[in-house]
């Protein structure tokens, strides 16, 4: 299960990994917390399309449906409203009723209900910084951590379904400095102009996230690109996502990266599989319906708070 803030996030973060697991026969669920209602049209070719401007919420749902079909995943809307990305100094207040202002318990129960129904063994989401400081991404992290902790506890949200405890939790690390540096150098080596110099200059101010897990998935980069392009209002087909061809990306960086922050099963160093360490299906299901110790999650929360500080 991959928990994301907006439609299009699932295609830019970990989508080749999801497509790989779908092809291997694993059910994969994308949870989209908001409808992206307050997003802008980021594709310059569509900025002046009156129909899109009038109907952006519906258009983004239609785009999500196309991306879902391309990746072969299941997908559900958690039902909250996009918070937008406030800009200015001082920052304007967030709009009433938006996802980032929802009571944590309300949003957590909604995700717990989906976890208990879908019964994933592995959950991916964002770190405490949201990957970047969009209020919905940060809220997505908070809700994911709370729901991961609560889903297996029968005393929490008893009306949200039978308890089910996922066994592993990862943060997505799809945009690491090392990856962008490698892309930048690959373009220079081909005597091409690189758009990543500005990214790398800004990176000095960003915290570097840990990477524990690298999933080989170059075979599914075409699915990732198609899914991105399905979000036509959000993705510029001439933008930086596509500066390097799929073949060049596969040559210089054939993996997608994650940070394992919780595991109830032992895992090897340098794992290359999000399901590494899981027992067979029957034993994993039995473990997921057991009461697992809270201390593991507490350690994660404390580590996240310490790193954030």
Feature table: binding site for Zn(2+):
6, 9, 137
Tokens of 259: 């940070």
CA atoms within 13 A on the CB side of 101: 10
Are 176 and 209 in contact by the 8 Å Cβ rule? The answer is yes
- The binding site consists of 6, 9, 137
Residue 120, number of CB atoms within 10 A of its CB: 23
User: What is the C-alpha separation between 11 and 230, in angstroms, rounded?
Assistant: 9
Angle at 218 between CA 260 and CA 167, to 5 degrees: 25
Give the Cα separation of 127 and 143 in Å (integer).
11
CB atoms inside a 10 Å sphere around CB 214: 17
Which residue from 145, 143, 140, 137 is spatially nearest to 169, judged by alpha carbons? 145
Q: What is the DSSP string of 50-100?
A: HHHHHSHHHHHHHHHHHHHHHHT-EEEEEEEPP-----SSSPPPPPTT-GG
The sign of the dihedral angle between the CA atoms of 49, 53, 58, 60 is: positive
Query: Buried b vs exposed e over 280-296: b needs ≥16 C-beta within 10 Å?
Result: eeeebeebbeeebeeee
């Amino acid at each position: 299960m991959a928990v994301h803030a907006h439609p299009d996030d699932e295609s830019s973060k970990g989508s080749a990994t999801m497509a790989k697991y779908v092809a291997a026969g694993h059910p994969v669920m994308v949870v989209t917390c908001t409808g992206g209602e307050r997003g802008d049209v980021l594709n310059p070719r569509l900025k002046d399309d009156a129909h899109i401007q009038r109907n952006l919420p519906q258009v983004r749902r239609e785009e999500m449906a196309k991306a879902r079909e391309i990746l072969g995943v299941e997908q559900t809307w958690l039902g909250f409203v996009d918070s937008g990305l406030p800009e200015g100094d001082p920052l304007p207040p967030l709009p009433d009723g938006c996802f980032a202002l929802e009571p944590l318990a309300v949003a957590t129960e909604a995700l717990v209900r989906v976890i208990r129904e879908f019964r994933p063994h592995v959950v991916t989401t964002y770190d405490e910084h949201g990957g970047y400081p969009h209020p919905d991404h940060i809220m997505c992290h908070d809700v994911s951590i709370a729901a991961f902790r609560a889903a297996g506890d029968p005393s929490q949200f008893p009306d949200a379904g039978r308890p089910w405890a996922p066994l592993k939790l990862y943060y997505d690390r799809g945009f690491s400095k090392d990856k962008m540096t490698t892309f930048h150098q690959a373009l220079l080596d081909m005597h091409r102009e690189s758009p990543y110099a500005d990214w790398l200059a800004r990176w000095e101010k960003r915290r570097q996230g840990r990477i524990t897990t690298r999933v080989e998935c170059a075979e599914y980069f075409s699915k990732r690109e198609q899914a991105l392009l399905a979000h036509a209002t959000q993705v510029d087909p001439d933008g930086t996502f596509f500066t390097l061809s799929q073949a060049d990306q596969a040559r210089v960086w054939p993996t997608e990266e994650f940070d394992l922050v919780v595991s109830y099963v032992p895992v090897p160093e340098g794992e290359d599989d999000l399901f590494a360490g899981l027992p067979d299906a029957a034993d994993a299901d039995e473990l997921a319906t057991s009461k697992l110790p809270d201390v593991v999650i507490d350690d994660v929360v404390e580590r996240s708070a310490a790193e954030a500080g």
